Each structure stands twice: as structure tokens, then as C-alpha cells.
A = this chain, B = another copy of it.
Amino acid sequence: MTTPKSTITITDVAKAAGVSKSAVSYALNGKPGVSDDTRAKVLDVARAMGWRPNSAAKSLSDAHTRSIGVVLLVADAENFGSGAYEMDCLAGLSKVLDSRDYSITLRMSAGGAKAACRIHEDWIASGKVDAHLVLNVALGDPRMALFRSHPEAKALFVAPREISGGLPTLYSSDSDGSRLLVRHLHDLGHRTIARIAGPEEYAHTLVRDRGAADECARLGMRCTTLHGPYLASAGAQLCDTLLDFGERPTAIICDTDVTAVAALRTAAARGVRVPEDLSVISWDDSPSCLSTLPELTSLHCDVKAIGRKAGEMLLRLIDGESVEAEPEDPYTLMVRSSTAPVLVP
């Protein structure tokens, strides 16, 4: 029946419906300029013939590619984590984009932010995408300079607002998250804590550092912070360091699930009981936080929601609306069994 002939164009439809190409175009795009009768007939014929607008032709004539460009950094597998964050973010993004028939144009770059710049530049010059989404922004990230010098390009940064000044930004409340964790430990009676934080190149690491430091100062707590990549080996090593340290902390906050799981395991291997002797908290509430014994108290972030909100902001950007900095949803603390009141000696 509807055997899709090689390619059906608007001309074929016009011929079949007995009208002009322009009438078909108006009808198909719901624009005025055709009578209701003509419109109905054209729609019927187009559907019957299985017509779909040719993507390239449409893009060329209306200057919209209907795609959002995303360059994922996979360079340093070390800092990349499992990719679960990016995946969830893309899932949320894709969901919002669907409604407007937008797709994601994806590249994965092993060359870091600089190589990503090259790709973005290419996309800008070739008109390959309508807007860019920038994730995993580092301090002094060249991608910020790039888009500052290309105001004609539309880009949204997911980054701490502290560093993306001026650029359209979806910013996290990493600082608030940090404070929330410190308060949770304070409520449990902890006074000497530590953090196994992420690499210092990351802007969000510094924001978390700041939040924790401020809240500790306010509450009169002591906090030792060690930085390292999001690797199990690093988490284990840093945990060892903290446990060997003179003034042993009664609680450790880990910046990611990978290091938290490693810390848990390191403690177990040394005979340090969690949560009796040591409380452990993880950022990134992921399935692995539920697979440990004890289950990990974790800071939950709805990453899909970030993707959705990013999608909405990007579409507004594309529609020519002005977009400034907007906040992500706040974090939620998932209290499980890896944190407990500190034992009075």
C-alpha cells in the first residue's frame, strides 16, 4: 500500500493534490495562505503518500537544523566517572527536545575542552546545530571564552554560576549541597570530619570546598579536605591517608559514589566499622549506593531534571528569548545506614 517510494517531495504531493508547491508548503506548515479545503486535501494526500519533509532542505531554507550539539569529554577516563551523569542528563534533554522534534548531535571528545572547542567552532561555522549544551565545565574552561567571542552562537552552560558570569547558565547548588551534608553530620554529633573531594580543576569541586568550609566554620567543626580523581584507587588511597592521620575524622564525605564505595571497602579492610567508628557519605546517589553494606547515605540529585531544564532553556534560547542564570532543583539527602551518631568515647 503505502510502499515508501524512494523519496517523496513536496512537488510530488503538489502534483497529486493538484495544487502548487507553495500551497502544499503552507498547508503542511499550518500557515495561512490556503483555504481549509485545500489544506485538508493536501494533508490527506501527504499522509497517504507517506511524505516527510526532507531534513536538509528544510534546514537550508529556514536556517534551523533542529538539533542541539553536545560534546562529551571522555579524554581523561579518570575524571569522567561512569558516564551515568551524562547519560541521565541526555535522557532528560532528549525528552524535552522530542516535543519540538529536535535531536541531539553528539560527539565524544578525547582531547578535553580544547578539542571540544574545535568541534563547537566547526558547528558554529557550518551551521550544524541550532544551539550548544556545555557540560563538565572546568575553571577557566576555554569553552567559555569561545562562546563569549561568538555571541551569535547559542549556548547553555551547566556550571556553577560563580564561574560562568554573563553566559546563559543552569547552575547547581553544590554549595548548598555541601552545607546540607555538613549539617547532617553536625546533627549527629560529628565535630571532626573529612572530605574526599574531586579534582581541583573542576569548578564544582571548589564550590563544594567553599560550602563545606563555610558551614564548618559556622558550626565550629574541623574539616580536612583531600582531592583526587574519581577513581576507586584514589578513593581508597585517600581514605587510608585520612585514617592514618593523627586526628582521625569520625566522618568522611566523598564527592562521588566511586570514591565512597572505595572508602567503605577500605574501612572494612582495616577493621574500621561503618557507621559505628566512621560515618561515610556519598554525593551522586546511584544504584551502587544501595549495593553496599551498609547502604550509603547519599546526596540525591535529579539529573534527568537537569537535562529537562537545560532542554527548556535551550529551546527558549533558540526561540530568541533571553536566558540568564537559573538554578537546578535543590539536592535531597537520602539518609541510609552509613551515617550514625558519633559514639561518645
Contacts and interface: CB of A to CB of B under 8 A. Distances in A.
Interface in A146-162: 150, 152
A163 interface: no
Interface in A89-122: 90-91, 94-95, 98, 103-108, 110, 122
A107 B102 CA distance: 9
A291 interface: yes
A7 B60 CA distance: 13
Nearest to A231: B287
A265 B265 CA distance: 12
A52 B118 CA distance: 13
A54 B90 contact: no
A53 interface: yes
B103 A105 contact: yes
A57 interface: yes
Given A50-B125, A59-B56, A125-B50, A232 B104 contact: no
Interface stretch (A31-39, A79-87, A168-176, A271-279): A79-87
Given A232-B287, A288-B261, A291-B232, A127 B55 contact: yes
Interface in A129-169: 150, 152
A72 B293 CA distance: 32
Please indicate which of the listed interface residues A56, A60, A94, A268 has the most CB atoms of chain B within 10 Å of its own CB. Answer: A56
Contacts of A88: 83
A197 interface: no
Interface string A256-267: 001001100100
Given A83-B87, A122-B52, A261-B288, A108 B127 contact: no
A286 B81 CA distance: 11
Contacts of A261: 288, 291
B126 A108 contact: no
Interface of A: 4, 6-8, 50-57, 59-60, 65, 67, 72, 74, 82-84, 86-88, 90-91, 94-95, 98, 103-108, 110, 122, 124-128, 150, 152, 231-232, 258, 261-262, 265, 268-269, 286-288, 290-293
